[in-house]
Every structure is written in structure tokens, then in C-alpha cells.
Amino acid sequence: MRGVGPMAADEMNAIEFVDVHKWYGSFHVLRAINLTVARGERIVVCGPSGSGKSTLIRCVNRLEEHQRGTIRVDGVELTNDLRRIDEVRREVGMVFQQFNLFPHLTILENCTLAPIWVRKTPKREAEELAMKLLTRVKIPEQAHKYPGQLSGGQQQRVAIARALCMNPKIMLFDEPTSALDPEMVREVLDAMTALAQDGMTMVVVTHEMGFARKVADRVAFMDEGEIVEINAPAEFFGAPQHERTKLFLSQILR
Amino acid sequence: MPTPATAGAAYVRRASGPILPPPLLSRGAIAWARANLFSSPLSSAITLALVAFGLWALPPLIAWATTRAVWSAPDGALCRAHQDGACWAFIAHKLDYLRYGSYPIAERWRVNAVEIVGAALIGWMLWPGVPRRGLGAVLFFVSFPIFAFALLHGVEGVGLPVVDTLLWGGVFVSLATALVGIVFSLPLGVLLALGRRSGLPIVRAMSVVFIEFVRGVPFITVLYMANNMLPLFLPPGWVPDRFIPPLVGTALFSAAYLAEEVRGGLQSLDKGQSEGAMALGLGYWRMTGLVVLPQALTRVIPGIVNIFIGLFKDTTLVAIVAMVDFLAAMDNAFKDTTWGGPTILPTGYFFAALFYFVFCYGMSRYSAAMERRRAVGRAG
């Protein structure tokens, strides 16, 4: 199992991409990706649309398959072995742009579904944990409503709580605020900031540069399927090195 | 004060305006009739013409079925004397035969018991708000078929003499055929739909071949094939009861249609739903059972019920492989010469139509109620 044998050196890192390539048909969407995310590290990935940043983050829990190179998550290498994929997915929470809450279940049921069926947590215990996490994202009073009755910002906070109910080691955020009305972005970013302060390992694809500046340990810039530049936020925003980074920043920071 | 319309003027609202009810003219029966029945001269003409047609056509039909009908008579003589009314005495006289066929009179309580238990379980399973509906469903889909078969067919040695299926007939044969069709075709249809969308090429190919083949063949052909080909797939010397092949044919035929209906539901579901489930670590079967199917199936309830209604009516076709369903029992009843007369056939077929209509309309209303319930639950 994990934590023994020659893999031990990799145990230091939460996520490792080693020379990862991916193609959609003949389109080379990820090109020679090398990226290591340490435990407890917060990385923000940004870049123009179509740059492959969502594909990159979706490779971490195998919603997308890579075709070349190695991805290790929490020391487990991702292959076609379904059992290993499920093992990784249990430890990696994901928050989507479109929330992807289950509309036929209440908020509480959304949060307890996976703990009960995957972790085999007793129902009572799962509900207590869910209420604790719903309180943490400041919406315990919505527990018995359905997702369709909540605002976008509330739904996205439920999605964060739902992922946390599995007690994950790593959290992935795929443009979590892009589908929200402007007045709801703040509440979701606040929940994410609180999570970062608790020491969660996070990979966040976002255009919220204020969040990146404040929360990220490193910011990665992707373009045309490549990681063009990675740096600490102060250097990344203050003194970008690559021409494409400079151009991108000049376009989004007015 | 309303918002000023002056072009280019700045404006700041100082106080909120009142929230007003809609004007009276847009509500009430008269307003409804004016908007829906008499909105234009053509609309008014069509309304009046249809009302006139109803007044012309309906009263004679109602009188034929009620006031002018013969309600009780020992034989067909009275009915032959009253040729302008229905002969309900014939139905009353044949009712037991129409319900049980040639099932031995002393054993008919068994049919009643199965019907009562079945109705109770269906009620338990389908009535919203009844506790433990899941248990009701398990009893209905798993225990009830065994119970029904044991009671209807009989078990040697426990005081339930075997009743040969040759003697079965009438309403309970129609209901049994429809229920067996529904109980087996729904799970099979769901599996075929999942198979058709499977990533495994052989599973997918087999599902596609089955669906396209069964769908591309008339139901009567499926029945004949089930009757003649089923023994070929069984071990030699193993002869299925004559009742079995039509049931298998009915279930397979509906399953092919259901599979396509369910596939439509699966395809209408956003990909994010399965991705959300996968990201939580749910495996394929849990994702399918807990997240995908509950949503996909409720979306296609109208289509599923549509197929069930078709299945129920198609049970009349099993008569061609010599099963005596309700309609076949009616045809047999017509052969009784003491009841011969011009009003017997219209009465019998009118009654048969009512029978099928009541069941099909019931299914239709249930499906509509479920859709409304679902719409209310979601919108909030």
C-alpha cells in the first residue's frame, strides 16, 4: 500500500506530472507538462481559454486520460487500473464550474451520498459531518432544500462542502466562479480562502487574479497546452518573464 | 410618482411603489371563456359547432348504454326484443367467465387473492408518501411473482391443486400478461439502454443488435417466434408451459422499446452529473443507480408509461398463440347461442373498450400526476 517501498520519496508530493502529453484526436492539448504540487501547497493555474488548464486539472482525478508521461497523485500512479482511479478519486475533491450538484437530492443528501456509499460511513455520522461542513461554508439552514432552490453562489458553496465531506487530501477547483453572477463571486472565494488557511492542498483554475495574489503559493500560466511560466504571485504579477505571460496579464489586468 | 420619461434626465427613486394585484378583467370564468372559447368570430363558430355536435351525438349513446339498456334477463330473448339498447344482462351473465375463463370455480378464490395482493402492493409501491415504498417495490418485483405463480398454478401437496394453464382465461390472464411484461421489460430495457451506451464494444454491439432486431419485427412475429423458437434454446426434453413463450415475447418486445426510451433519458442528462459522481469516487454501478438513473428515468416517465399502455393493449394479441385473454374470452362468450342477438356484439366490445380504457387512462393519470409532483418538487 501507500507509504512503503521505493515510492516513499514521492510521498512528499501531493501531485506530480512528469512529461505528460494528451491529445484530443490529433489536437495536442497538453504538451510536456512537468509540475509538482507539494503537500499543503496552493497553486493557481491561469491562461487563455483553450490553453488546456481545465484538461490539466481534470487529468488529476482521471476525468481525462493522458496518453504519455506519468501522473502520480498522493503517491498513486494513474493508469487504467480502475481500482487505483477510485482510490485517487476518494482522496481528491473537485469543484466544477457548473456546480454539478445532484438536483434530485437535497443539499444534505448531496453531501452524505459519497460518504455513505463509498466510505461506508454510518448515516447519522455522515449527516453530522455534512452539517458541520455546511456550517463552515455558512449555509446550514439550506440543508433540506433542493439545489434548484438555491442561488448560484450557495450551490457552489454546497459543492465545496460536498467535496469536503469525503475528507479529501487534495481539492481541485475548475473555474469555480466563472458561472456565477458577479455579486456571488465573493462568498465562494471567501470559502476557498478559509479552506486554504486550514492548510488544504489546492489546485485552482481561475481568472480571479485577486484570489491568486492573496492565496496562491505559486501561479502557473498556461498557453497552447504548455506551462509557460510558474512563479510566486509577487514575482508572477510584479515581474513576469515570458512575453506571452506579459501579454496575457496586460489583457486581463486593466 | 412613476419614472420620468424625459430623455436625458437623471432620476433617483425616493420611495418604493405599492405592489398591486392584477386587474380583475384578466381573471374569472367569464374572462376565461372570452379568452379561450370566443376570442374571435371563427373561434366562436367552432365552439358552437362542437357543442352542437356533442348535443347531437352524446345523448343517444348515453341512452343506449343506460335508459334503453336491458340490465337483467335470464337469456337473450329480452335483448332481442330491445334492439335499441345495450344488453348488460349478457355481460352480467358472463362476468365470471370473462374474469376467470375456465379456471375451476372452487379454486377461483386463488385468482382473487392474487389480484388483491397485487393491487395492494402496486398501491404501496406507487402511492407517494406511503412509508417504505422501496420495500413495497421489492415485494412486488421479487416476492409477488413467486407468490402469484404458486397460487395461480398451484403447488402439489400443500392443498393447492395444480390448475393447468389451458384453463386460464379472462381478465386475470390479461393482467398477468401485462404485469409480467412490465416487471421483466423495465429492468431489461434499462440494462439494454446502459449496454448501448457502454464503453465495452461487445456489450454495446449485443445491445444494439437485440434492440434493432426486436424493434424491427412486428409483435405478432415476435410472438410466433417465441412460441416456436424458445424450445430450441432450452435443454432437450424441457418443454415450457404454453403460457411462457407469449410472456417472454411480450417482455422482450417491450424491453427493446423501453431501452430506446431510457437511452433518450440518459442522453438528456448533463455530462456534469456523471462527472460529479465520478469525482466523488462513486463507481459505475453506484453512479448509475444513485445519480444517473433516478434522474434519467423520471425524465422519461411519460414515454415509459406510453410503452406500458401499448403493452397492456398488445396483450390482446396473445390470443393468436391460443391464450384466452379478456378479449378472447369475450369472443368465446359471443358463441353462446342462447344469448345470440344483434345487440350482443356492440355491448361486448363496448364493455371491452371500457375495460381497457379504465386501465390505460389510470396509468396515464398516474404518470401526469408524477410529472406535476416532480415539477413542484424542483421549482420551489
Please state at what angle helix B88-100 crosses helix B171-196, rounded to 10 degrees: 60
Tell me which of B29 and B173 has the higher pLDDT.
Answer: B173
Residue B25 pLDDT > 70:
no
- Strands A13-24 and A68-73, sheet pairing: antiparallel
Tell me what the mean pLDDT of segment B63-74 comes to.
Answer: 87
pLDDT confidence bin for B75, thresholds 50/70/90? confident
As a whole-number percent, the residues of chain B with pLDDT over 70 amount to 96
Per-residue pLDDT reduced to its tens digit, B315-346: 999 888 888 899 999 999 999 888 888 888 99
CB contact at 8 A, A206 and A190 = no
Scanning the structure block, which residue is given the C-alpha cell 384453463?
A: B167
CB-CB neighbors (< 8 A) of A63 in chain B: 275, 278-279
Domains by residue range for chain B, with CATH: 105-162 (no CATH), 175-309 (1.10.3720.10)
Banded pLDDT at B379 (limits 50, 70, 90):
very low
Do B279 and A149 count as a contact with CB atoms less than 8 A apart?
A: no
> Mind listing the pLDDT tens digit for each residue in B186-199?
999 999 999 999 98
Dist CA B253 CA B250 (whole Å): 5
> Can you list the residues of chain A whose pLDDT is less than 70?
1-11, 254
B21 and A CB contact within 8 Å: no
Q: What is the pLDDT of residue B3?
A: 63
Cell 465562494 found at: A188
Name every chain A residue with its beta carbon within 8 A of the beta carbon of B277: 102
Q: Do A98 and B270 touch (CB under 8 A)?
A: yes
Query: What's the rounded mean pLDDT across residues B300-304?
Result: 90
Number of CB pairs, chain A paired with chain B, less than 8 A apart: 68
CA distance B321 to B324: 9
- A interface test, pick of B273, B280, B298 with most A CB neighbours within 10 Å: B280
pLDDT in tens, B122-135: 888 888 778 888 88
Mean residue pLDDT of chain B comes to 88
Q: ipTM exceeding 0.85?
A: yes
Distance in Å, alpha carbon of A114 to nearest chain B alpha carbon: 6
What chain A residue is nearest to B277 in terms of C-alpha separation?
A114
Number of Cβ within a 10 Å radius of residue B203: 16
Would you mind telling me the total number of residues written for chain B in this entry? Answer: 380
